[in-house]
Amino acid sequence: MSEIILSIKDMEKTYVGGVHAVKGISFEVTKGESLAIIGSSGSGKSTVLRCINRLIEPTKGIVQLKGERINTPASDINDVRSRIGMVFQSFELFAHLRVIDNVSLGLIHVRGIGKEEAESEARKVLERVDMLDRVDAYPGNLSGGQKQRVAIARALAMKPEVMLFDEPTSALDPELIGSVLETIQGLAEEGMTMVVVTHEISFARDVADRVLYMDQGLVAEEGPSSIIDKPKTERMKEFLSSIND
Amino acid sequence: MTSEASTEGGLRLSKAVNLLLPVSLFLLLISFSGVSAQEVRSGWDLVDGGTVSDLHTAEAINGEIWAFGDGGIMLKSLDGGSTWIGNVIAEGYNWSHSDSGYNSILIATDDGVTIILENIGNGENDSNDNIPIFPGQFPINDVALTGSQEFVTVGENGEIWEFDGDEWINRSFGIVNDLLSVSFLDGEDVGLISGEEGIILATDDGGASWDYRDAPGELSTVDIVDIEYFSSIRAYAISEDGHILKSSREGSLAVGFVWSIVEIEREYPVGGSNEFVKGGTELDYDASSIKVLSQSKIMLAGPSGYLSLSKDGGNIVSRQMIPVSNNTSFNAFAMQDGFRGVAVGDGGVILRTENAGSEEFVGFEVADFNDFGQFVDYSKERLMDGLVATAKIVFFGILMGFSLGIILSMLKTSPTTLKNVAQTNRYQLLIMVVLVPLWAILKVPVSVFNIIGVIFGSKKRHHDIGSNNWVMVNPLDSTLISYREKAAQIAASEPLNILAIRAVGLVLISFGVYRILSNLDEISALNLDGWEHIYSPIGAPSAVFWIILGLAIAVLGGIFLSCNGDFSIRDLKVRKTEFSLNPWGIRPLNTIATAYTDIFRNTPLLVQFMFIHFGFELGRRMQDPGLMLFNFEYLQGNANFLTDIFVVYETNPESLGYGRPIGGILEDRAYISAIFALGLNSGAYQCETIRGAVAAIPSGQMEAGRSIGLNYMQSMRLVVMPQAIRICIPPLGNEMVNLVLNSSLAMIIGYAEITRQGKLIVATTFQVFWTWGMVLVSYFLITWTLALFLRYLEERTRIPGLGISGGA
C-alpha cells in the first residue's frame, strides 16, 4: 500500500444562502494515483476540489494532506496551497504577465527563489508542457490550449504533491483538447498524484486509475476506471448515456 | 505574431505623435514670446520754455508753475506747464534754490541772495519791479519757508541761518559738516535738515533750535543730498549713493526720529522692458532730488537724464523714458498734484507730464489694456505665478489623493471580518501589533543596504543568504517565523477561547456604554431640540465622536459577548419579517473606509475648502507645529532637499525677510489647506474608482494567485492591482483632471492660483473676455498635457489581449 497523499473524510459544504452542495463525501488518493471525479453539472464536483485547497472553506469534515490536517486555522494555508497545484477551467493566467513571469511568480514570491534561478526553473517546466517557444508572449496572445498548458506549468513549477484539475478542457475547442489531455496524461505517467474533475469520459477511462461518480453532493459510485464501461447504478448509467449522446 | 508586430509598430507611431504634440506646442509658445515688443513712448512731453539757460529749481503754487535758473531767468506757466512766459529777474544771479508757501515763492542763489515773490496766482504781480533783494551773507545749499512766514537757509560747515523778515539770525550750533538740504512741513514749524556724513537734524520751533536725529548707521559716510518733510506721518530723503530713506511716525515718536533705508526690491531700467535689477538698498542710477507726491509715491531726478517714479515708497522704482538726450541733468520737480507737473533741468529743458511721468504703453505701470499685446505683457507674469501655484497644489493633491485612494480601496475590499478578529489568538495579536510594525521599520534600512550592495557589484540576491556575500537579512525574520509557528500551534492545540472572547466583549460593552453616558451631558447642554440634533456634531464634536465610537464599541462588545464558537450565519426574525444577518461577517476596515468616502463624497468641495481652511484651520494647525519642528535655527545648518519640500527660509542676513519662510509647503497656510482639501476629497473618489477596477478583475485571478501560495496582500499587489490600475487609468485620469479643475476653488481660501490671479488681473485691467479666456487656455493646457500623458501611459502599459481597448 503506497502512501496516502490526500484524504477527505465526511466533507460537507453549505453555501451562504443554504445550498447544500456537498453532503458528506470521503475518499483517499494515494501517491501516483490519478482520480477522476465525474458527474453532472451541480453535483458538487468543483466544490469538492476547491474545498481541498480551501479556496472554499468546507463546512464540516477533515481534509488531510500527507496525514496533516489542513482545514484548521493552525495550518499555514499559503504553504498548503503552494503544495497543492490547481488548474482552473478558465485558465486564470495572470493577464499582465508574460508566460515566463506567470510561471516564475510563485517561485520568486512564495519559494523565495532568485529571479534568474526561478526563470531557468520555469523554462524547464515550460519545456515539459511544450511551451518553451512562447515564453515571452502575453496570455492574451495564446490559444486556449496553450493557455491551459501554461496554467499547468504554473502549478507544476511549485513542485506540488498533488494536482487538482478543475474541468481543464471544458473551455477549449474540441481540436485544442487533445494537446492538454496529452500533457495531463504525460504527467500521470510520470507519477504525478492528481485529482481531475472532468467531463471527458474517455479521458477518465484511459488515464484515471480510479473514477468517482458524484450525484447531488454525494458519491454515487466509486471504483477503478473500468466501472465506466459497466456502471452499477442507474444514475451513472443515465449520466453516461446522456454524455455519449 | 505578425499582428502583434504590427501592433507594436502602431503603438510606437502614436507614442511619437503624442509626445510631438505638446513639444511642438511648447516650442510654438516660446517662439511667439518675443512678438509683443512695442513702440516705446515717454510719459513726459518736452515743452518750450524759450531759454537755454540751466534751470535749477521750480515751484508750483496756486495753479501756476514757476521755474528759475542761471542768469536770473524766471519762467512762468499759467496752463500747467504747456506754455511759458519768460522773464529775467535780477539779471546776473543764478537762482538755484526755492521754496513756496503763503502765496509766495522764495528763491535764492548759491551765494545766499534771496528774493520773495508775493501774491502769486492773483494776477497782480506780473511785474517784477521793485522786489526787495536780500543780499547774501554766505554760501547756501538750500532754503525753506518755515511755519511762521520766515525762512531758513543751510550751507557749508554747518551754517544755519534764520531770516525773521528783518534780520538774519545765526542758528548754527557747532556742526562742521556741510548741510545740503532743508525742508519744512507746509505751514508748520517742524522741519528737517540733511547733510554730509548721514547728518539729519530736526526742529519743532520753526528753526530756532535743532537736534540730531538718527540716520541709519550705514550712512555715516554718505551724504544725504535731498530731504522732504511731506506730511505729519511721512518724510523721505535720498543719499548721494542712491539710498532712499524713509521716516514714518511711530507711536508717539514724530516723523524724523526713526529713519530706515528702503529695501529696493526691483528697479526697472529705462524702457518697456520687463527685465529688472533686483534687490539691494541703492539705486542703480544717481539721483540728486526727491519729490514726494503722496505717502508712498515718490519721484526722483538726477544727472544723466534720470527721472523715475515709485508708487510704493521705493520698493519698486521704474526709470522713465524721456524725450530728450540722456545727457540732460534734471534738477527739480514742480508738481501741481500727484500727477500733473514739470521737471526742469540743464539747458532750459522743461518736461511736462499729466501722469507723474509714467509711460502709458510700457513697463509694469499703467498700460493700455485695450492693446492685447500690452495686456498680455501685464498679465502673463501673474498667470505664470498662478500656473506654478496651481501646479504645486495639483501635484501634491494628486500624490495625496492617489495614495489615499489606494489605501482606502484596499481597506474597502479587505476580506477581514469580525470572525477573523475573534479568532485571533494572543500570538497573532503580538505578531500584528508589535512584530510586524517593528519588522517593517527594520525593512527600510535593510533594503537600502541591500540595494547599495547590488549597485556596488554584488549580484548575489536574497536566495543566496549564507553564501559568501554581504546581503543583510532583516534580523526579525527568524523571530517572526518562529512566532508564526507558535501562533499556528496555539491555534491548532487550543480550542477557540470563547470565554476570553466574551470577556473582551464585556469589557468593550462597559467601555462603550461608559463613553456614551459620560458624553451625553455635553450633548444635552447644547439645548438642541428635535431635528436640530443633526447639528450636534458641530456643537460638540468630541462628545459626538465619543458617543458614535462608544456605540460602535458597545455593539462590537455585544457581538463578542454573544459568541458561542459558531461563526456561521444567523437568521433573525423581527415581527414577521425574516432577514439574515451575520454580525461576524461585518468587515471593520471596510466600515471605516466607507464612513470616510461617504463624508467626503456627500458634501460639496467648496464647503470642504472653507471648512478645512477657515473652520477647522487645518493650515494653522499644520503650520505652527511644522514650523516649530523645521525651525529656522535648526535648518540653518541642516537644510536639504527633503526639508526644502516643507519649508525654505530666507537666509540672506541683509534681506528684510531674513529668517522668514519663503518657500515649501509650510510657507502658506492656504497652500497647506488647499493640498489637504484637494487630496482628501480626491482620495474618496479615487478610492471608488480603484475599487471599481478591482471589482472588475475576475475573482479567478485572486483564486489563481492564492492557489499558488501567494498570500492575500501578495495576490493583491502582484496580480490584482497591476491589472486593476491598468483598467482604471482612464477613470483615474478623469479624477486627476477633475482635481486640476477643482483646484480653482482654492481661490476661495485666498490661495493665489490661476483663477485668483485672473480675478486680480480683471480688477486692474477690466478686460474680462481676455482675462478669463487666458485663464481657460491655461487650464486647458495643464489638463490637456495631463490627459496626453495619461493616454501615453495607458498605451505604454497596455497588455495585448487584456481588455477591449480599440487598438490591439
Dist. CA B489–CA B140, nearest whole Å: 107
Answering whether pTM is above 0.80, one says no
| pLDDT confidence band for B576 (50 / 70 / 90) | low
Minimum mean pLDDT among A152-161, B72-81, B679-688: which range?
A: B72-81
The full length of chain B comes to 808
Asked if the Cβ–Cβ distance from A114 to B492 is below 8 Å, we say no
| Confidence at residue B365, expressed as pLDDT on a 0 to 100 scale | 47
Residue B807 has pLDDT above 50, yes or no: no
| pLDDT confidence band for B274 (50 / 70 / 90) | low
Asked if the Cβ–Cβ distance from B802 to A78 is below 8 Å, we say no
Nearest to B710 among A92, A106, A141 (CB): A106
Residue with cell string 519729490? B291
CA dihedral B283, B289, B294, B295 (to 10 degrees): 60
**CA distances in angstroms from A105 to A116, A195, B8, listed in the order given:** 12, 24, 25
**Chain A positions in Cβ-Cβ contact with residue B703 (cut-off 8 Å):** 55, 88, 92
Minimum mean pLDDT among A196-200, B99-103, B288-292, B436-440: which range?
A: B99-103
| Confidence at residue B454, expressed as pLDDT on a 0 to 100 scale | 63
| Confidence at residue B440, expressed as pLDDT on a 0 to 100 scale | 85
- Looking at per-residue pLDDT, the higher value among A41 and B806 belongs to A41
- Looking at per-residue pLDDT, the higher value among B578 and A238 belongs to A238
| Confidence at residue B130, expressed as pLDDT on a 0 to 100 scale | 61
Dist. CA B360–CA B42, nearest whole Å: 8
The DSSP element (H or E) to which A183 belongs, if any, is helix A174-189
The size of the A-B interface in CB pairs under 8 A is 108
Asked if the Cβ–Cβ distance from B799 to A140 is below 8 Å, we say yes
pLDDT, tens only, B353-398:
887 777 654 444 455 778 888 888 888 888 998 999 999 899 999 9
Minimum mean pLDDT among A176-185, B132-141, B508-517, B667-676: which range?
A: B132-141
Residues with Cβ < 8 Å from B81, sequence gap 6 or more?
Answer: B47, B65, B340, B341, B342, B350, B352
| pLDDT confidence band for B688 (50 / 70 / 90) | very high
Work out the average pLDDT over B192-207: 86
Asked if the Cβ–Cβ distance from A112 to B463 is below 8 Å, we say yes
Asked if the Cβ–Cβ distance from B488 to A74 is below 8 Å, we say yes
Residue A11 has pLDDT above 50, yes or no: yes
Smallest CA–CA separation between B799 and chain A, in Å?
6
B534 phi/psi in degrees, rounded to 5: -65, -20
For every residue of B427-486, which 3-state class applies, written as one string?
Answer: HHHHHHHHHHHHHHHHHHHHHHHHHHHHHCCCCCCHHHCCCCCCCCCCCCHHHHHHHHHH
| pLDDT confidence band for B741 (50 / 70 / 90) | very high
| Confidence at residue B78, expressed as pLDDT on a 0 to 100 scale | 84
| Confidence at residue B685, expressed as pLDDT on a 0 to 100 scale | 94
| Confidence at residue A86, expressed as pLDDT on a 0 to 100 scale | 93
| pLDDT confidence band for A171 (50 / 70 / 90) | confident
Check: CB of residue B210 under 8 Å from CB of residue B201: yes
**Chain B positions in Cβ-Cβ contact with residue A85 (cut-off 8 Å):** 707-708
Smallest CA–CA separation between A66 and chain B, in Å?
17
Residues of A within an 8 Å Cβ radius of B: 16, 53, 55, 59, 72-76, 78-79, 81-86, 88, 90, 92-96, 105-106, 109-110, 112-115, 117, 138-141, 151, 154-155, 158
E-assigned strands of B35-159?
A: 45-47, 55-61, 64-69, 73-77, 85-88, 95-101, 104-109, 114-117, 133-134, 142-145, 151-154
Work out the average pLDDT over B329-338: 86
The DSSP element (H or E) to which B690 belongs, if any, is helix B669-696
**Chain B positions in Cβ-Cβ contact with residue A53 (cut-off 8 Å):** 707
Minimum mean pLDDT among B160-164, B466-470, B550-554, B642-646: which range?
A: B466-470
**Chain B positions in Cβ-Cβ contact with residue A94 (cut-off 8 Å):** 701, 704-705, 718-719, 723
Smallest CA–CA separation between B1 and chain A, in Å?
9
Minimum mean pLDDT among A3-12, A34-43, B197-206, B315-324: which range?
A: B315-324
Percent of chain B's residues with pLDDT above 70: 86
C-alpha cell at A191: 507519477
Give the chain B residue whose CA is nearest to the CA of A81: B709
| pLDDT confidence band for B166 (50 / 70 / 90) | confident
Residues with Cβ < 8 Å from B308, sequence gap 6 or more?
Answer: B283, B285, B287, B299, B300, B317, B318, B319, B320
Amino acid (one-letter) located at B254: A
Work out the average pLDDT over B448-458: 67
Work out the average pLDDT over B622-650: 83
3-state secondary structure of A114: coil
Interface test with B, best of A80, A94, A111, A195 (most B CBs within 10 A): A94
State the complex-level ipTM.
0.93
The full length of chain A comes to 245
β partners of residue B333: B343
Asked if the Cβ–Cβ distance from B491 to A106 is below 8 Å, we say no
Asked if the Cβ–Cβ distance from B704 to A138 is below 8 Å, we say no
Asked if the Cβ–Cβ distance from B708 to A82 is below 8 Å, we say yes
| Confidence at residue A126, expressed as pLDDT on a 0 to 100 scale | 94
| Confidence at residue B465, expressed as pLDDT on a 0 to 100 scale | 44
**Chain B positions in Cβ-Cβ contact with residue A158 (cut-off 8 Å):** 708-709
How confident is the prediction for chain A on average, in pLDDT? Answer: 89
Residue B38 has pLDDT above 60, yes or no: no
Asked if the Cβ–Cβ distance from A94 to B489 is below 8 Å, we say no
**Chain A positions in Cβ-Cβ contact with residue B714 (cut-off 8 Å):** 109-110
| pLDDT confidence band for B1 (50 / 70 / 90) | very low
Residue A241 has pLDDT above 50, yes or no: yes
pLDDT, tens only, A215-230:
888 998 998 988 888 8
Smallest CA–CA separation between A76 and chain B, in Å?
7
Check: CB of residue B691 under 8 Å from CB of residue B672: no
- Looking at per-residue pLDDT, the higher value among B414 and B14 belongs to B414
Minimum mean pLDDT among A57-66, A104-113, B69-78, B489-498: which range?
A: B489-498
Smallest CA–CA separation between B378 and chain A, in Å?
52
Check: CB of residue A22 under 8 Å from CB of residue A212: no
**CA distances in angstroms from A196 to A36, A52, A88, B287, B443, listed in the order given:** 5, 12, 11, 100, 42
Residue B306 has pLDDT above 90, yes or no: no
Interface test with B, best of A92, A133, A135, A138 (most B CBs within 10 A): A92
Q: State the burial class of residue B649 (Cβ atoms within 10 Å of its Cβ: 0-12, 13-18, 19+).
A: buried
Residues with Cβ < 8 Å from B333, sequence gap 6 or more?
Answer: B58, B289, B291, B299, B301, B341, B342, B343, B344
Interface test with A, best of B708, B715, B794 (most A CBs within 10 A): B708
- Looking at per-residue pLDDT, the higher value among B374 and A131 belongs to A131
Work out the average pLDDT over B398-414: 92
How confident is the prediction for chain B on average, in pLDDT? Answer: 82
| pLDDT confidence band for A192 (50 / 70 / 90) | very high
Give the chain A residue whose CA is nearest to the CA of B490: A74
Dist. CA B745–CA B739, nearest whole Å: 10
Dist. CA B272–CA B37, nearest whole Å: 8
Work out the average pLDDT over B35-62: 73
Residue B15 has pLDDT above 60, yes or no: no
Residues of B within an 8 Å Cβ radius of A: 4, 423, 461-464, 484, 488-489, 491-493, 568-569, 698, 700-701, 703-711, 714, 718-719, 722-723, 726, 799-802
Buried b (16+ CB within 10 A) or exposed e, A171-180: ebeeebbebb
| pLDDT confidence band for B125 (50 / 70 / 90) | low
Asked if the Cβ–Cβ distance from A95 to B711 is below 8 Å, we say no
pLDDT, tens only, B470-523:
567 778 888 888 888 788 777 767 777 788 888 999 999 999 999 999 999 888
